[in-house]
Structure 1
Amino acid sequence: MGSRAFPMTKRAGFSPRGGRGGKSVALFRKPNVDDLDLLRHPLGDLLATFSKSDLESATASLSSSPAIQKCQCVGSYNWVDAKSPTITVPGKPPAWTPPNEARRLQEDSGQYYRDPNAARFPEYPTEPAVHAIFQTNPDFTTSDVDIFGCGSTMGNLMRFVSSVDIPFRFSVEVIGNTVFFIRKQNDPRETIQGIRGFGHTFPEAYTTWGEDLKGSESHQRLIQYEFDGLKCVVRFECDGYIMDQEQTFKENTSSKMKQEPDVNSLLESFDNTTVGMHNPSSNEPIAIRNGGAVVSQDAIFDLKTRSGRFRREVDLQDIYPVLWLKQVPNFIIAYHDGAGLFEDIRVQDHREGIRCWENEHKSQIRCFAAILKKIIAVAQQSDNKLLEVYSPRVNHLEVREQHGEGSHALPDALMAKWGIVEDEVDSVEDPNESWDYYDNDDLGYGSDNFHDSDQEFPDFTACSADDCGYCGKCTY
């Protein structure tokens, strides 16, 4: 599921608990989002182009397929509803706490931001994630990280190698040895239009923030894993965790957990009656508070709601690439009767299904690894470390310089802390080999309009029109 945008109430604030949108989404659905205006965000000079067919040719001779390995959580934080930008580290996702009896829920209402990180801190949306890593792991080795991305940017590239016709665009910056991928959209406080269904009210009724974390809007999780020789850090929004599985994890790793934050040594609780009334100011620095506890990767889940009126099952082949990228083992699908009564809720461990999907999509995964390495190569060899990736149409991806002065992923002090490397990397792959390479923008491939990724993945909380069987107004 994509990053769940948190809601903005009619009183111009944020509604409490709205960050847990419950919108686990299919990776390959077309989002209904406003086009990123090329007049407001012009394209920079073209550096290189890539195609899916080129990637397939380059990887056809490979006998094996890369796999994600050594996944671990390296940081996490909760966005807190406050007057100024505030995070709690390590925070904690809401727990799965279904009521004893099903009750009819109200339909979603209000306005919801597409990206909670950009909306809360528009100047440097990646900054809170880096703070959370250093706060959790003071000795974190930044020089080992090849890619720092999120579910949205990594998902865009996965769609590209899957030949899905959804245009996208995101920023790139090289900081030290790391290539940062940063989401790009028209406005950091852009809202999702036409929200209907029960994708937000359902998790409000079926999951619960801990007493120490009242006022949390969303839980952001950072995982690190190895993939085809690359060490990747990926940020995504976590929908919740299953307490039974977390308890099993603690019992099996009690000695390790003793070193992790104690849930009883937390910051004082926030007053839930005042949550959601404030619009944080982007001019203030991020306030970092200690609280929460690290949750096992085995216990977290993605969540999706859907209308059960027509008994159309969720296509898990759309869901598995999302779970694979984020290494989320559990998936909850909740079907309602069209009027807010949920009587068919399935809580399932999908690790075996994800493994099968991975085995059946080896060519796609090899192409995904190849495009990551090609982007890294162009970025590291470029004199201008501020670039962007742009795919205006299916089977065509461009790497360009950012227009004008560009925008940075991190402020100067945090950029220096991540580590500026003076020496050039000697082992960078040559982007000219087997690829079309251009020094100027003379192709004319840029479209006047294109769709940005809705969230970390497109938002499908609003999907139950009679013609599709989801749970509200279709957004694709």
Structure 2
Amino acid sequence: MSNSRGGWGSSQPFTANARGDYAPRGGRGRGGRGYRGGRGASSAKYTPPPKPDIVKHPLGELLQTLQVSELDPETEKLSDAVKITDLKYVASYNWMNDKTPTIMVPGNPPAWTPVKEAQRLKEDNGQYFRDPNGARYPRYPTEPAVQAVLTSQPAFPTSDIDIFACGSTMGNLLRFVRSSSKAFRFSIEVVGNTLFFIRKENSPKELIEDVRGFGHSFPEAYTTWEKEVKGSESHQRLVQYDFGGFNCLMRFECDGYLKDMETSVDTQNHTLHELSNGHNLSKAFEAASVSHTLSDVDEPLYVKEGGFEVPQRSIFDLKTRSGKYKTEIDMSDILPVLWLKQIPNFIIAYHDGAGLFQNIKVRDIVKDVQAWEQENASAIKRLAVLLSKLTKIAKGDKRGLLEVYCPSDRLEIRRQYGDGSNSLPFSLRDQWEGSSGQPTYLSDSDDGEGKIPHHGGYSFSYNDSDDDEPKDLTGCSDSCGYCGSCSY
């Protein structure tokens, strides 16, 4: 097995196996071609996501249509260099393998622990969700991220955040401005000063079709959940940075971290422009696996403390590919994602076509991402212009409940259909807006296991005096297939 380090990038969702459980380590899944639902993608033919179902889930009133050609940086008076700057780690959390929806804050990613001797792995055999947060917590998929932020930093300046996005929503916009977009759809809600971009599939339990290869079995064997976070399913990370005049909070799934690069958290906040090269790999350890259980989404969200923060410079993204034909991985779809998430390390594992991995490269891709940024400066400026237009439209709308729909050749900004849906429970929205000074818990005591129930469960209302809060939270069929009350 060869391990090399040089310059290179990717990522996305996660998994439920044939029983309906999450497949082994699926939550840390390495998605093929931008879908984290299948950890390092295989050499199998790429299956695009299904188009948004606008018959089952109708579109709302059209407010404005945008073409790429209309996104003129000159009209927004942008500076010559539009880049990501002032990167800060904010919070993180692990989805836990519990019967109730549970996150561990800050959690930590699985460690890169390559096996001592390469063994032939079994091909992936399971079903994998496109959106792990939506599948695990369909009522308010954004709530776990917000809870992680406010748990880690109770005094976090929420009013400073202009855009709260994820790798999927911002990635879709980036593809659009690069004229390489496929159909997509996501919701927008204005909460205080912040635009929340909420990922939206046709169903929270939508699966990635035709999963093949070794994109889940490889990380299962070559990365390890450490004892502090045993029972984890996935690691979600939130970073803050300035882009195009906007203060952005970005959530994404992290495939793992390199233990030899773990340093003090105080040194972890560097943009890819500031990171240096030349780090050594950690030594190999035996891989470990855990069993997995699908949480009961009718339960409220629980938050427990555990794990440890890891520096941004140590995290990596992972892909697998067949090396049968001796062709290098195409990085054109991967570098943009790494740029958005500011991930500095990339692991590409080539197999012989039958599950034997003897060519594994661990690379510092900082320079490659910087080169991509320079080569795509025009598209990056168009992304900043697009964010400016979306902000003006959303903040000018009375309800502040919009959605973005792209049939592929244009972008439609619409009001959400009907009454729309909120991204957060009302009590948590109040906290984000700054109307309450302290986190609101259901109880001052935990459940005896260090877990505190937070907002967002199906089985009860948090504030009986709040007429706007849905009272019947048990009416979701199939864990919410857009029941009208849920964010999904």
Q: TM-score category by the smaller chain?
A: 0.7 to 0.9
The reply to whether residue 171 of structure 1 matches residue 187 of structure 2 is: yes
Q: Residue 176 and residue 338 in structure 1: after superposition, are their counterparts in 2 closer, same or farther (change >3 A)?
A: same
Counterparts of 2:78 and 2:264 in 1: how far apart (Å)? 40
Please say if residues 59 and 367 of structure 1, whose CA atoms lie closer than 8 Å, have aligned partners that are also in contact.
no
Counterparts of 2:392 and 2:47 in 1: how far apart (Å)? 30
Counterparts of 1:380-395 in structure 2, within 5 Å, are 380-394=395-409
Cα drift, residue 16 of structure 1: 3.7
Counterparts of 1:61 and 1:288 in 2: how far apart (Å)? 43
Q: Deviations over 1:17-63 (max 9, x none)?
A: 22222336359x97522332112110100111111111146469856
Q: Deviations over 1:264-285 (max 9, x none)?
A: xxxxxxxx99831x33222211
Counterparts of 1:412-423 in structure 2, within 5 Å, are 412-419=426-433
Please say if residues 103 and 302 of structure 2, whose CA atoms lie closer than 8 Å, have aligned partners that are also in contact.
yes
The reply to whether residue 155 of structure 1 matches residue 171 of structure 2 is: yes
Counterparts of 1:193 and 1:22 in 2: how far apart (Å)? 15
3-state DSSP of counterpart to 1:185: coil
3-state DSSP of counterpart to 1:90: strand
Please say if residues 95 and 243 of structure 1, whose CA atoms lie closer than 8 Å, have aligned partners that are also in contact.
yes
Match of 1:444 in 2: none
Counterparts of 1:460-471 in structure 2, within 5 Å, are none
Counterparts of 1:115-264 in structure 2, within 5 Å, are 115-246=131-262, 249-250=263-264, 253=267
Q: Residue 30 and residue 409 in structure 1: after superposition, are their counterparts in 2 closer, same or farther (change >3 A)?
A: farther
Counterparts of 1:235 and 1:193 in 2: how far apart (Å)? 24
Counterparts of 2:11 and 2:420 in 1: how far apart (Å)? 26
Greater relative CO (CA pairs within 8 A, separation 6+): 1
2:306 pairs with one of 272, 291, 310: 291
Counterparts of 1:15-30 in structure 2, within 5 Å, are 15-23=23-31, 25=33
Counterparts of 1:50 and 1:77 in 2: how far apart (Å)? 36
Match of 2:321 in 1: 306
Please say if residues 76 and 89 of structure 1, whose CA atoms lie closer than 8 Å, have aligned partners that are also in contact.
yes
Counterparts of 1:105-124 in structure 2, within 5 Å, are 105-124=121-140
3-state DSSP of counterpart to 1:367: helix
2:13 pairs with one of 4, 23, 33: 4
Counterparts of 2:420 and 2:310 in 1: how far apart (Å)? 37
Cα drift, residue 191 of structure 1: 1.3
3-state DSSP of counterpart to 2:333: helix
Q: Residue 343 and residue 36 in structure 1: after superposition, are their counterparts in 2 closer, same or farther (change >3 A)?
A: same
Please say if residues 60 and 418 of structure 2, whose CA atoms lie closer than 8 Å, have aligned partners that are also in contact.
yes
Counterparts of 1:187 and 1:335 in 2: how far apart (Å)? 33
Q: Residue 62 and residue 69 in structure 1: after superposition, are their counterparts in 2 closer, same or farther (change >3 A)?
A: closer
Counterparts of 2:374 and 2:317 in 1: how far apart (Å)? 22
Aligned CA RMSD, in angstroms, stands at 2.1
Amino acid of the residue matched to residue 407 of structure 2? P
Counterparts of 2:73 and 2:25 in 1: how far apart (Å)? 47
TM-score, structure 1 as length reference: 0.80
Match of 1:341 in 2: 356
Please say if residues 22 and 202 of structure 1, whose CA atoms lie closer than 8 Å, have aligned partners that are also in contact.
no
Match of 2:460 in 1: none
Range 98-107 or range 55-64, more displaced: 55-64
Q: Which runs of 5+ in 1 are unaligned?
A: 255-271, 422-476
Match of 2:274 in 1: none
Please say if residues 147 and 179 of structure 1, whose CA atoms lie closer than 8 Å, have aligned partners that are also in contact.
yes
Q: Deviations over 1:223-276 (max 9, x none)?
A: 100112110001000000001111xx239859xxxxxxxxxxxxxxxxx99831
Match of 1:431 in 2: none
Amino acid of the residue matched to residue 16 of structure 2? P
TM-score, structure 2 as length reference: 0.78
Counterparts of 2:322 and 2:185 in 1: how far apart (Å)? 32
Give the fraction of aligned pairs with identical amino acids, expressed as a percent. 52
Counterparts of 1:32 and 1:252 in 2: how far apart (Å)? 40
The reply to whether residue 398 of structure 1 matches residue 429 of structure 2 is: no
Amino acid of the residue matched to residue 78 of structure 1? N
Match of 1:456 in 2: none
Q: Which runs of 5+ in 2 are unaligned?
A: 1-9, 36-44, 269-287, 436-488
Counterparts of 1:138 and 1:252 in 2: how far apart (Å)? 19
Q: Residue 24 and residue 76 in structure 1: after superposition, are their counterparts in 2 closer, same or farther (change >3 A)?
A: farther
Match of 1:70 in 2: 86
Q: Residue 47 and residue 202 in structure 1: after superposition, are their counterparts in 2 closer, same or farther (change >3 A)?
A: same
Q: Residue 365 and residue 30 in structure 1: after superposition, are their counterparts in 2 closer, same or farther (change >3 A)?
A: farther
Match of 2:421 in 1: 407
Please say if residues 171 and 388 of structure 1, whose CA atoms lie closer than 8 Å, have aligned partners that are also in contact.
yes
Q: Residue 251 and residue 36 in structure 1: after superposition, are their counterparts in 2 closer, same or farther (change >3 A)?
A: closer
Q: Deviations over 1:148-201 (max 9, x none)?
A: 000000000000000014011100000000000001111111111111100000
Q: Deviations over 1:398-449 (max 9, x none)?
A: 110000011110001100000068xxxxxxxxxxxxxxxxxxxxxxxxxxxx
